[in-house]
Structure 1
Amino acid sequence: MITDKTLLKAYPQIDILLNEPLSHYTNTLTGGPADILAFPTSVKQCQELVEYANDHQLPVTVIGNASNLIVKDGGIRGLTIILTKINKITSHENLVVADAGAALIDVTKAAQAHSLTGIEWAAGIPGSVGGAVFMNAGAYGGEIENVVVGAEVLTSDDKVIHLNHEQLDLGYRHSSVQENHQIVLSATFSLSTGIADKIQKEMDRLNFLRASKQPLDLPSCGSVFKRPKGYFAGKLIHDSGLQGFQVGGAQVSTKHAGFIVNVDHATATDYLNVISHVQETVYKKFGVHLHTEVRIIGDEILNK
């Protein structure tokens, strides 16, 4: 565990916490402690933190809204950066530029306010812009790759570079940012001119559908599994009789089989055990491998 306070002394202007439980920040309300947890408010501060980590040979982990994330109970070693304080959103003509820490929902609201259409499908996605680009988030037939034209990213050697649409190499829950261990700093979305009232009605319709089908009243990490080719993960889980299956406080949602919800002080280990059981059961019954969409990071057991 990191116990020294050298980073705090080096950067007093940055909000930095030591050995902070990540359960305070994840949507599942689970997760062990981060050795160092930092909240930069600018790109410069983010660069300084990565430079410090490189100089001190500390691994770096970046978290956005932690909405599609499971942090294991052992927590995260090294430096963890949460970008939610870097969250500016601006618009010009048909473009919306959003910092990585901005909520994707707020981007849809900004687009609607400027009568820009094309991103209504994201009106209920709880993630951040950075996470959405990182994972090529999608819903209701839309995906980030259909609207993003480029992104500013921070490389592992502290350089800020621009990636165009082709360089982002976006695919199903995939981007080049993942492979190259880069940090999304901002993204630019190209939208079309629309009618504000119609845009709002479509956002309201999709949010109604989401609320009627998904267990939004309980902590969860969103959709847990990727869509297998030719199948729907939720239907496979439902047809395997797994809705309501529970380990500890983690349960396969009785409302939507593709979600695992925290019903009673679940741990990350509870989540992982439910995921493993679901994968094994679906494979035995249907011969289909379910691969996780949720990002799983951290250590199993905290080394003391």
Structure 2
Amino acid sequence: MIDIYERLKSIVGDSRIFQKEYLKNYTTFRIGGPCNILVFPSTREEIIEIIRLLRETKTNYFVMGNGSNLLVSDSGFDGVIVSLKFFKGMETLENTDDVYTIRVTSGELMSSVGNYLARMGATGFEFATGIPGTIGGGVRMNAGAYGGELKDCLVCVTAISPEGEVVSLSNEELKFGYRTSILANKDYVILDATFKLGKSTTEEIKAKINDFNTQRREKQPTNFHSAGSTFKRPEGYIAAKLIDEAGLKGLQVGGAMVSDKHAGFVVNVGNATASDVIELTDKVRAVVKEKNGVDLELEVIKVGF
């Protein structure tokens, strides 16, 4: 790793690369051990050079954004974490009376994009504005809320392909599904995404955003650290309803607990470990399977296991 560290440092400089950083400091769950190297590219060129280097040297790596949908192992990650949180930028491609088109870098927070679009009078992104993730992570998993999904307004993405080429993929080519896409199933690294929105007034858009945010605060355990919805929605069911009906609200293992406010969330109520979360989610899955015959699948991405 010493050679890899020096080569990465030559790309980003001294101030944006670290060794043995604890990933709990970079995830919304506040859980996770150290990685060998944590690097923060801030430009498209740096990302491309870093990914090509890591692939050419067969170095184990993982690309992350805001760390909002991750459960990192207590032992950490044996390899390089590439964080895109400093890769920022938004570019207007079209702005007419009816249409607003914007290209956004993968490191931009969905909240920042949504609030920017609100100021511009662009509607269609309100549902995503309260999701605590980056554009790259959101597009990869087709993030959604309140009846909307990113696929509904996404035109295309630019990404580094598994072969190392910079390619453009259309909405259709991304093969979006419920919380998935071709980007999640293959080794693509998203550089930017283009969205096409409608037009409305800033007041109406902000009112929608405020309404969604109010619903989140009322229904979700925003006062605790979590990784968002813990389980995917099983076909024909609602995960939180199954968990609630199984009497599992408040079930706790160590510092991890099934939220007593929203059963679809596992929350960190105090120094939870990844082992606590795994043991707890395994118990939840077992009970739901026994009572309803439904297999719950984690929505949270496990890293370092």
| TM surpasses 0.5 | yes
How many Å separate the matches in 2 of 1:12 and 1:288?
A: 47
1:113 is matched with 119
Question: CA offset at residue 154 of structure 1?
Answer: 1.1
Structure 1 runs not aligned, ≥5 long? 300-304
2:248 is matched with 242
1:291 is matched with 297
- Would you say the 8 A contact 1:101–1:129 is kept in 2? yes
How many Å separate the matches in 1 of 2:195 and 2:186?
A: 22
- Would you say the 8 A contact 2:32–2:273 is kept in 1? yes
Select between 91-100 and 181-190 the one with higher mean Cα deviation.
Answer: 91-100
Out of 117, 134, 137, the position equivalent to 2:140 is 134
Question: CA offset at residue 219 of structure 1?
Answer: 0.3
1:302 is matched with none
Question: CA offset at residue 51 of structure 1?
Answer: 2.0
1:68-112 deviation per Cα after TM superposition (whole angstroms, max 9, x unaligned): 111111211222100011121222311121110000011111111
Q: Which amino acid aligns with 2:33?
A: G
1:190 is matched with 196
2:183 is matched with 177
Q: Which amino acid aligns with 1:13?
A: G
2:37 is matched with 36
Q: Number of matched residues?
A: 298
Out of 252, 268, 272, the position equivalent to 2:278 is 272
Q: Which amino acid aligns with 1:184?
A: I
- Would you say the 8 A contact 2:123–2:205 is kept in 1? yes
Select between 47-56 and 189-198 the one with higher mean Cα deviation.
Answer: 47-56
Report SS of the residue matched to 2:139.
Answer: helix
Report SS of the residue matched to 2:107.
Answer: coil
2:25 is matched with 24
Q: TM-score with structure 1 length normalisation?
A: 0.95
1:7 is matched with 7
Q: Which amino acid aligns with 2:271?
A: H
Out of 153, 158, 166, the position equivalent to 1:160 is 166
Q: Which amino acid aligns with 2:165?
A: K
Residue 163 to residue 12, structure 1, CA distance change in 2 (3 Å): closer
- Would you say the 8 A contact 1:50–1:156 is kept in 2? no
How many Å separate the matches in 2 of 1:96 and 1:275?
A: 39
2:225 aligned with 1:219, yes or no? yes
Report SS of the residue matched to 1:228.
Answer: coil
Structure 2 runs not aligned, ≥5 long? none
Question: CA offset at residue 13 of structure 1?
Answer: 2.2
How many Å separate the matches in 2 of 1:83 and 1:289?
A: 33
- Would you say the 8 A contact 1:23–1:32 is kept in 2? yes
Report SS of the residue matched to 1:11.
Answer: helix
Report SS of the residue matched to 2:159.
Answer: strand
- Would you say the 8 A contact 2:9–2:17 is kept in 1? no
Question: CA offset at residue 11 of structure 1?
Answer: 2.8
Select between 276-285 and 73-82 the one with higher mean Cα deviation.
Answer: 73-82
Identity in percent? 38
Q: Which amino acid aligns with 1:222?
A: G
1:239-295 deviation per Cα after TM superposition (whole angstroms, max 9, x unaligned): 111111111100000110000110010011111111111100100111111011111
Report SS of the residue matched to 1:185.
Answer: strand
Question: CA offset at residue 9 of structure 1?
Answer: 4.8
Report SS of the residue matched to 2:114.
Answer: helix
Return structure 1 stretches of 4+ with deviation > 6 angstroms.
none
How many Å separate the matches in 2 of 1:46 and 1:238?
A: 43
Report SS of the residue matched to 1:231.
Answer: coil
How many Å separate the matches in 1 of 2:215 and 2:71?
A: 25
Report SS of the residue matched to 2:224.
Answer: coil
Report SS of the residue matched to 2:20.
Answer: strand
- Would you say the 8 A contact 2:246–2:288 is kept in 1? yes
Report SS of the residue matched to 1:223.
Answer: coil
How many Å separate the matches in 2 of 1:151 and 1:8?
A: 26
Q: Which amino acid aligns with 2:207?
A: K
1:106-129 deviation per Cα after TM superposition (whole angstroms, max 9, x unaligned): 111111111011111112100100
- Would you say the 8 A contact 1:3–1:18 is kept in 2? no
Q: Which amino acid aligns with 2:117?
A: A
Q: TM-score with structure 2 length normalisation?
A: 0.94
1:145-195 deviation per Cα after TM superposition (whole angstroms, max 9, x unaligned): 101000010123432111111111111011111122101111011000111
How many Å separate the matches in 1 of 2:196 and 2:46?
A: 28
- Would you say the 8 A contact 1:51–1:157 is kept in 2? no
